[in-house]
């Protein structure tokens, strides 16, 4: 078995999807790359897949002209090319640092497409971004220490505020790291809540959920105390959340409704990301199945 070839084949398919401006397929292929990286325990490819997945989500929430579509595609293709070129030429520790820095540049270049003309009046102030993110994370920590179901949307609220700070005031790559960790924890939490809220739950289930939440809060606290500690271990945290997400997906597929970020542009037409489209398809399918069962009776 050539494990690298398995992963490179998916990247080749991703390149083709971008060249054909098929962002929907690119999104799916990013998921596949993460899944196969989990199966093969390959953290480097997994982190790369996570970056592609996050960007495909961001692009799906932006209205792009034909010209900007090409520009976004070219940016992604350049990043992929750099990944393939450098992956075997650097030590693993150095490569993660290289990847994050290159991803920060790419993320910023893609993010610029979503900035409204009026928002260009903001002066970049990364010190304020740093201050505001610390404030938000302290608030998040306090709220989730005493978690209950109604607080579930807070993670999307935090991600939305961080997005705004990035757009208006700029960011450092440590800020992007903590945002990505929160984003991937967010991908797992609805599955975890489903298991926690199951009618057959026992004390063990509740304790497992609380432990899972505590581990996330420990990362937040560690970041607030010394962000560099989280930066150094970010690939480990993200790999574990990616692994949890993909295995939970295999277990439950789209049967668990999830909180998903959408964006309403100026023309008031709702932009729906691929995740939400899949959920809608699933809900319609389940509804049709129920109707068929009623008719059979």
For the chain, 297 residues long, give each residue's pLDDT as a single digit of tens: 888 999 999 999 999 999 999 989 999 999 999 999 999 999 999 999 999 999 998 888 777 777 878 899 999 999 999 999 988 776 787 899 999 999 999 999 999 888 777 787 888 899 999 999 999 999 999 999 887 777 888 999 999 999 999 999 999 999 999 999 999 999 999 998 888 765 555 556 678 888 999 999 999 999 999 999 999 999 999 999 999 999 999 999 877 766 655 554 444 444 555 565 565 555 445 544 444 443 333
105 in the same domain as 136: no
**Within a domain: residue 288?**
no
Q: Which of 25, 2, 17, 163 is nearest to 76 (CA)?
A: 17
Which residues is 263 bridged to in the sheet? Answer: 271
Residues 110 and 10 placed together within one structural domain of the fold:
yes
Residue 110's Cβ-side half-sphere holds a number of Cα atoms within 13 Å equal to 27
Query: Nearest Cα to 62, choosing from 275, 272, 259, 276?
Result: 272
Q: Which whole-number Å values give the CA distances from 60 to 57, 90, 161, 272, in the listed order?
A: 5, 32, 18, 7
Same domain, 138 and 201: yes
Res 76: pLDDT: 96
Same domain, 31 and 138: no
Going by C-alpha positions, the residue among 71, 73, 163 that lies closest to residue 115 is 163
Residue 140 lies in a domain: yes
As a whole number of angstroms, the distance between CA 70 and CA 51 comes to 19
Query: Could you list the residue range(s) of the whole structural domain that residue 175 is in?
Result: 122-261
What is the Cα–Cα distance from 231 to 219, expressed in whole angstroms? 10
Number of H helices, E strands in the chain: 11, 0
CA angle 191, 183, 91 (to 5 degrees): 115
Specify the pLDDT at position 28.
95
| Three-class DSSP category at 267 | coil
Q: Would you state the pLDDT for residue 88?
A: 77
Q: Is residue 103 part of a domain?
A: yes
Does residue 148 share a domain with residue 53? Answer: no
Q: How many domains is the chain built from?
A: 2
> Cα(first)–Cα(last) distance of the chain, in Å?
51
The Cα–Cα gap between 123 and 160 comes to 20
- The verdict on 135 and 87 lying in the same domain is no
Residue with tokens 């490569």: 95
* Same domain (yes/no): 106, 148: no
Residues 141 and 106 in one domain: no
Query: In the listed set 59, 79, 114, which residue is the last one of a domain according to the structure?
Result: 114
Q: Please tell me the predicted confidence (pLDDT) of residue 12.
A: 98
> Does the residue 270 lie in any domain?
no
Q: Identify whether 90 is part of a domain.
A: yes
Which of 86, 114, 142 is where one domain is finished?
Answer: 114
Boundary residue ending a domain (58, 83, 114): 114
The answer to whether the beta carbons of residues 153 and 259 sit under 8 Å apart is yes
**Are 128 and 175 contacting, i.e. CB atoms less than 8 angstroms apart?**
no
Let me know if 52 is exposed, middle or buried by CB neighbors in 10 A (0-12, 13-18, 19+): buried
Please calculate the CA angle 124-126-130 and round it to the nearest 5 degrees.
Answer: 145
Residue 243 lies in a domain: yes
Instruction: Tell me phi and psi for residue 170, to 5 degrees.
Output: 85, 175
- Structural domain includes residue 283: no
Is 274 within a domain? no
Residue 150: what pLDDT? 75
Whether residues 204 and 171 fall in one domain: yes
Same domain, 131 and 253: yes
Q: Are residues 252 and 217 in the same domain?
A: yes
Q: Cα 139 from chain centroid?
A: 21
| Shared domain check, 136 and 102 | no
Amino acid 259: pLDDT: 60
């Amino acid at each position: 078995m050539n494990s690298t070839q398995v992963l490179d084949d998916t990247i080749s398919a991703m390149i083709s999807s971008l060249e054909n401006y098929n962002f929907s397929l690119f999104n799916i292929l990013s998921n596949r790359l993460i899944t196969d990286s989990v199966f093969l325990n390959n953290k480097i490819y997994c982190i790369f897949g996570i970056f592609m997945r996050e960007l495909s989500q961001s692009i799906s929430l932006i209205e792009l002209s034909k010209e900007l579509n090409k520009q976004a595609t070219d940016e992604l293709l350049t990043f992929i090319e750099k990944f393939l070129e450098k992956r075997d030429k650097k030590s693993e520790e150095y490569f993660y640092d290289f990847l994050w820095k290159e991803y920060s540049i790419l993320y910023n270049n893609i993010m610029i497409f979503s900035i409204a003309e009026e928002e260009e009046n903001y002066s970049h102030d990364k010190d304020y971004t740093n201050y505001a993110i610390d404030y938000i994370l302290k608030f998040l920590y306090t709220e989730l220490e005493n978690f209950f179901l109604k607080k579930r949307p807070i993670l999307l609220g935090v991600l939305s505020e961080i997005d705004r700070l990035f757009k208006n005031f700029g960011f450092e790559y440590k800020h992007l790291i903590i945002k990505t960790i929160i984003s991937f924890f967010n991908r797992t939490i609805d599955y975890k809540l489903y298991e926690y809220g199951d009618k057959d739950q026992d004390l063990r289930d509740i304790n497992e959920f609380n432990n899972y939440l505590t581990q996330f809060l420990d990362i937040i606290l560690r970041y607030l105390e010394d962000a560099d500690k989280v930066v150094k271990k970010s690939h480990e945290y993200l790999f574990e959340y990616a692994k949890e997400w993909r295995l939970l997906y295999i277990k439950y597929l789209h049967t668990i409704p999830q909180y998903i970020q959408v964006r309403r542009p100026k023309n008031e037409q709702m932009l729906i990301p691929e995740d939400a489209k899949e959920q809608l398809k699933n809900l319609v399918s389940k509804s049709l199945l129920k109707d068929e069962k009623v008719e059979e009776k």
